[in-house]
A and B are shown apart, each in its own frame.
Chain A
Amino acid sequence: MPTGSLSAPRGLRFGDVLPGAFVLVLALAPVLLFSVYPVAVLVANSFGVGIAPASGGFTLEHYDRAFASKSVSSALGNSVLVAIGSVCISLGLVLPIVLRQGKRSAARRERASASAADTLLALPMALPGIIIGFFAIVLVGRTGLLGLIWEGFSGFAYVFGGMLVAYVYFSFPRVLGPLRGAAAALDPALAECARTLGASRVRVFATVTLPMLLPAVIETCATASAVALGGYGTVATLSEGVRLLPLNVVNELTTGYRLADSSTLAVLLALGAVAAIAVGRLLSRGAKWAVSRA
């Protein structure tokens, strides 16, 4: 971001009005105290060198136990599948909408109805995961509405497919939002130019639009997968069905306050999420580089 060098020497100085450094430290204190420090304690807890009752001395037994546990490994597998699967399905739904929007904003029509549609599309983002889990119960639970139409839908909320659909509801606004921004930033002249030069719609999509969107697609999907991986609310409501890793994290605390074991699983969950984000950034940069060279 270019920062106006023209104003640097004589710009508005906060310090002239208030003791700036003091105010800044005060503003940053909650971040350090209630976000960064607890995460450090969480890691220390997982190694047994944290705060009581997770302060018995350095040990790797909590990690050994986590890696040896069948319930943890199956929950982790389910979590990864649900996170990646729900994001991939969301991407399939989102791409056509995003590309359509590019055309629409060029034409600037149907503003009122588009605004209502936008609000509706953004709604799942503002719903806590527990409500999405409850939606699954209302529609495809044991006495769900869709079960009246076809009996096969009864209890679908508690099998893997049902969990996957619930997480698609959770993930797709998180894929839609960032990709919308990225698509709006594309220069429509490039695609139009390719069309007037005789390229087919499919060819324009494959050789112009998609390569330009690709870095944003990769980064958005990775971030959304990380969020879905850590999403606890939906599976909390559907806890009698498929087991996902956040349930194990919670169970260690609610059934007997095993802080060190819970912290260990929380660290593993967080590592998964952070790794997804980091890999996404890396691949996105690689894609940007490759597209700029091509």
Chain B
Amino acid sequence: MNRAVLAVVLSFVLLPILATAIAATSVDFSHGPWGGGPTLDWLGYAWVPLAPVVARSLAIALGVVLLNLLLGGVISWWVARRPSWATFLVGYLVNVPLAIPGIALSVALVGTFPPLRPSGFLLVMAHLVFTLPFTLAALVPVLADPSLRAAEDVARSLGASHVRVARTITIPACAVGLAQAAAMVFALSFGEFNISFFVNPPAAPTIPFALFDAYSTGRLELASAQTIIFIAFIVPVLGAIVALQRRAGRSKT
């Protein structure tokens, strides 16, 4: 019975993706699946204007990942190694964007910093504060692990420098956590729509806004083709996240 439920859920997830793929390769979808014959033209039409948008979204997502690893790394280190009332408070403050709906944060941000919107700076900061909780969730438990700290202490007492300890013990121990955080943050930023809604620079949309525009104005086939292109970019990242999670789960047991 459980196997049947899994099959139902898997087809529930897969069905709309397949239907969208069919719509994207149909000449005229209103005449049914592959109505008017199959074609790759819609994917071609969709890709030309979408390519610069994809490039922009990739650049933003990579920038947000870098900022996360830098700032998130420092904050995680501090939260894991210096527990006090202050770290407790910071833990709460960092998680604010998890509790407040994205669209509410978007209204808050555009109401507070309207001049920062056109440059795109506000968008990057919005993505950063939205993704930081995920970085902390991945890194803090690893950094707080007593066996890691014991290994660092042993290395230090044997005369290794701070830099050598960090390079040969701390960072390798965090590698899976860092990769997990990076992949997760990338996926979240690449598809972020809610917080971005009022803070994205109108002249330079990210890929979810190009999709939203196509959904409200474009042909169903063209919008489907754009959606398929988005999914093609996100699936490899997702596969990486799942693989890393399994790896982290295995090393724990």
Contacts and interface: CB of A to CB of B under 8 A. Distances in A.
Interface of A: 1-4, 6-7, 10-14, 16-17, 20, 23-24, 26-28, 30-39, 41-42, 45, 50-51, 54, 93, 96-97, 99-100, 115, 117-124, 126-139, 141, 143, 145, 148, 169, 172, 184, 226-227, 229-233, 236-237, 246, 249-250, 253, 259, 262-263, 266-267, 269-270, 273-274, 277
Given A28-B75, A230-B104, A100 B2 contact: yes
Chain B interface size, under 10 / 10 to 19 / 20 to 34 / 35 or more: 35 or more
B47 interface: no
B162 to A, nearest CB: 5
A215 to B, nearest CB: 19
B3 A100 contact: yes
A123 B238 contact: yes
- For the residues of A in contact with B, the DSSP-based class is helix
23 contacts: A11-B153, A12-B152, A30-B71, A30-B128, A34-B125, A36-B96, A100-B3, A100-B5, A100-B6, A118-B246, A123-B235, A123-B238, A126-B188, A126-B237, A128-B191, A143-B220, A169-B13, A232-B102, A237-B212, A237-B215, A253-B107, A263-B107, A273-B101
A120 B17 CA distance: 11
Given A7-B152, A266-B103, A28 B90 contact: yes
Contacts of A169: 12-13, 16
A130 B193 contact: yes
Interface of B: 1-3, 5-6, 8-10, 12-17, 19-20, 22-23, 29-30, 32-33, 67, 70-72, 74-75, 77-78, 80-81, 83, 90, 93-94, 96-97, 99-105, 107-113, 122, 125-126, 128-129, 132, 141, 144, 146, 149-150, 152-153, 156-157, 162-163, 165-166, 170, 187-188, 191-194, 197-198, 208, 211-212, 215-216, 220, 223-224, 227, 230-231, 234-235, 237-239, 241-243, 246, 249
Given A126-B191, A128-B191, A134-B223, A23 B153 contact: no
A128 B227 CA distance: 11
A143 B2 contact: no
Nearest to B155: A12
Contacts, number: 279
Given A35-B96, A137-B220, A236-B212, A96 B1 contact: yes
Nearest to A144: B19
A7 B126 CA distance: 37
A12 B162 contact: yes
Contacts of B16: 132, 135-136, 138-139, 169
Nearest to A13: B162
A31 B96 CA distance: 9
Contact of B104 (A51, A120, A233, A267): A267
A11 B71 contact: no
B220 to A, nearest CB: 7
A60 B179 CA distance: 48
Given A6-B150, A35-B105, A231-B101, 7 more contacts: A12-B156, A30-B129, A39-B96, A119-B235, A129-B193, A134-B211, A229-B101
